[in-house]
């Protein structure tokens, strides 16, 4: 009997040691395990009734994020933007709904820690009545929530032009950015030794090469349309007198009415897309200018 008891105790001891070893291995394994990826849904702002929008570092620097964009505004417009202090209150139902819908389409990209280091940033506090539901920060194509989540923007529609006070200037700047993107496409094409695309197919060429560059056959090319011009496939025309080796201050592309593969001179230019009236012009050196008068238009180099 004593031998049997000793054997039982020995088996129990061995079993306990095995269990302890297994527990230790499990803890060590858990310590080095990769956390399970659990996508988080974007904030639900469907009940939002008011937005408070703050531009950082300032309203002017948010609208004109790059130094070269400042030239698109005259002194009076610059002073106006500098005088506008945020936060701006947005209570327009359609603007709020568009904002909420765009947030709902964002895709989860994981957590972040610390402050948003890039600029400019648009901070948006979202209210239902007097209660602040949540807040988000928008920097480029990324949305940051106050609880440390990060989302990628799928559609900027509804996230731009939130405040009526700044919308005309944001539309102008985005129109100029479209022309800059087209200039990049024209230069990439010219670097292949073929010069600029032919005057009667330049839109087709830019679209085709952009789709090939992105390896997406149906990639939309929204930068062929002015964001404030309404419907149309393209709101820009090419100056056929401008080649890849022309003077840097010669007009290359400019705003016109809706069409496709349009080309010509100042007779095609339109002042009607923007408020205050005017239109954007791209020079052959990549500079974009905002033209306000007929005198300014005809003072440009067209030949």
Note if the bond before 57 is cis, omega within 30 degrees: yes
Residues 302 and 79: their CA atoms lie apart, in Å, by 32
Burial of 31 (0-12, 13-18, 19+ CB in 10 A): exposed
pLDDT in tens, 245-302: 999 999 999 999 999 999 999 999 999 999 999 999 999 999 999 999 999 999 999 9
Taking 80 as the threshold, does the pLDDT of residue 89 lie above it? yes
Residue 124, both tokens = 């948006």
Q: Give the pLDDT mean for 99-111.
A: 94
119 — pLDDT class (breaks 50, 70, 90): confident
Taking 80 as the threshold, does the pLDDT of residue 22 lie above it? no
pLDDT in the model for residue 31: 52
Residues 112 and 146: their CA atoms lie apart, in Å, by 10
213 — pLDDT class (breaks 50, 70, 90): confident
Neighbours of 265 (CB within 10 A): 16
Q: Which of 163, 167, 173, 138 is nearest to 153 (CA)?
A: 138
Q: What is the mean pLDDT of the chain?
A: 87
pLDDT in the model for residue 10: 45
pLDDT in the model for residue 38: 75
Taking 60 as the threshold, does the pLDDT of residue 3 lie above it? no
Q: Give the pLDDT mean for 35-40.
A: 69
pLDDT in the model for residue 222: 84
pLDDT in the model for residue 9: 46
Q: In degrees, to the nearest 5, what angle opens at C-alpha 42 toward C-alphas 36 and 47?
A: 145
CB of 203 closer than 8 Å to CB of 261? yes
Residue 216, both tokens = 């997406």
Secondary structure, 3-state, 93-151:
HHHHHHHHHHHHCCEEEEECCCCCCCCCEEEEEEEECCEEEEEEEEECCEEEECCCEEE
Query: What pTM, to 2 d.p., does this model score?
Result: 0.82
**Of the given ranges (137-146, 153-162, 183-192, 294-303), which has the lowest mean pLDDT?**
153-162
CB of 139 closer than 8 Å to CB of 121? yes
115-121 long-range CB contacts below 8 Å, 24 or more apart? Answer: 116/144, 119/56, 119/57, 119/61, 120/55, 120/56, 120/57, 120/61, 120/62, 120/65, 121/55, 121/56, 121/62
Q: In degrees, to the nearest 5, what angle opens at C-alpha 260 toward C-alphas 238 and 169?
A: 70
Taking 80 as the threshold, does the pLDDT of residue 65 lie above it? yes
Crossing angle of helices 202-214 and 167-189, rounded to 10°? 80
Strand-by-strand arrangement of the 142-145 sheet: 88-90, 50-56, 121-128, 131-139, 142-145, 149-152, 107-111
Q: Give the pLDDT mean for 201-225.
A: 81
Higher local confidence (pLDDT), 16 or 111: 111
Taking 60 as the threshold, does the pLDDT of residue 72 lie above it? yes
């Amino acid at each position: 009997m004593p031998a049997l008891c000793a054997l039982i105790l020995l088996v129990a001891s061995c079993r306990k040691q095995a269990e302890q070893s297994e527990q230790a291995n499990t803890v060590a394994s858990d310590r080095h395990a990769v956390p399970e990826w659990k996508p988080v849904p974007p904030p639900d702002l469907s009940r939002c009734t008011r937005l408070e929008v703050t531009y950082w570092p300032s309203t002017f620097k948010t609208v004109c994020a790059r130094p070269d964009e400042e030239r698109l505004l005259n002194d009076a417009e610059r002073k106006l933007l500098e005088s506008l202090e945020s936060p701006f209150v947005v209570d327009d139902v359609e603007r709020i709904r568009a904002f909420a819908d765009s947030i709902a389409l964002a895709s989860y990209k994981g957590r972040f820690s610390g402050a948003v280091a890039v600029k400019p940033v648009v901070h948006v506090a979202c209210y239902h009545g007097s209660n602040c539901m949540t807040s988000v920060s928008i920097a480029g194509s990324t949305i940051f929530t106050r609880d440390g989540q990060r989302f990628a923007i799928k559609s900027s529609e509804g996230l731009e032009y939130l405040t009526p006070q700044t919308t005309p200037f944001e539309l102008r700047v985005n129109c100029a950015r479209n022309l800059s993107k087209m200039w990049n496409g024209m230069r990439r094409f010219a670097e292949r030794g073929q010069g600029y695309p032919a005057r009667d197919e330049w839109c087709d060429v830019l679209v085709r090469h952009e789709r090939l560059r992105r390896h997406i056959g149906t990639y939309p090319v929204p930068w062929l349309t002015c964001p404030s011009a309404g419907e149309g496939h393209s709101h820009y025309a090419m100056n056929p007198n401008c080649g890849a080796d022309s003077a840097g201050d010669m007009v290359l592309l400019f705003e016109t009415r809706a069409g496709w593969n349009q080309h010509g001179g100042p007779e095609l230019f339109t002042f009607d897309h923007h408020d205050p009236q005017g239109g954007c012009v791209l020079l052959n050196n990549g500079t974009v200018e905002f033209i306000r008068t007929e005198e300014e238009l005809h003072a440009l180099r067209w030949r």
